[in-house]
Amino acid sequence: MSHVSHRFQCRVYYEDTDHGGMVYHANYLKFMERGRTEYLRAVNIELDDVEFSEGVMFAVTEANIRYLSSALFNDILEIDSMLTFARGARLSFKQQVWRMHRENETRDTLLAEAEIKLACVDRSGHARRIPASLLPALKIHQSNTP
């Protein structure tokens, strides 16, 4: 993993597509959720462990997504996740979803890009500061790009 971004690949299944055979728009948010989870896992932050030991979770508060092209059944997608902000009770990620070229496994087409904002919340949904134990791992991998 680079110090500023994480790449995660997944395949498009039939269940991800709409009646027209293209990935249903809301499913890009699911792919991005997986990308953020794998980003955190790569910096040794397991979300279930954080909930158990610290009593907090991360909830999406805002999603600004721009769709550029469509993914189709059996495409391999690469989700690029970059942490851009981690302070107080807030986290922010910039994410991109790319279609991978079928023959040479390089990025082919940018399909969607988003800025996702999250809040650190306790089990009752009240905002809480990001636990101090998580900040070093987040800060090391945080991009300086706004």
Query: If DSSP states are collapsed to H, E and C, what string results for the chain?
Result: CCCCCEEEEEECCHHHECCCCEECCCHHHHHHHHHHHHHHHHCCCCHHHHHHHHCEEEEEEEEEEEECCCCECCCEEEEEEEEEEEECCEEEEEEEEEEECCCCCCEEEEEEEEEEEEEEEECCCCECCCCCCCHHHHHHHCCCCC
In the set 18, 75, 108, 122, the catalytic residue is: 18
CA distance 138 to 93: 11
Q: Which residue has the tokens 């610290």?
A: 54
Catalytic (active site) residue 80: no
With contact defined as beta carbons under 8 Å apart, do 75 and 11 qualify? yes
Where in the sequence numbering do the catalytic residues fall? 18
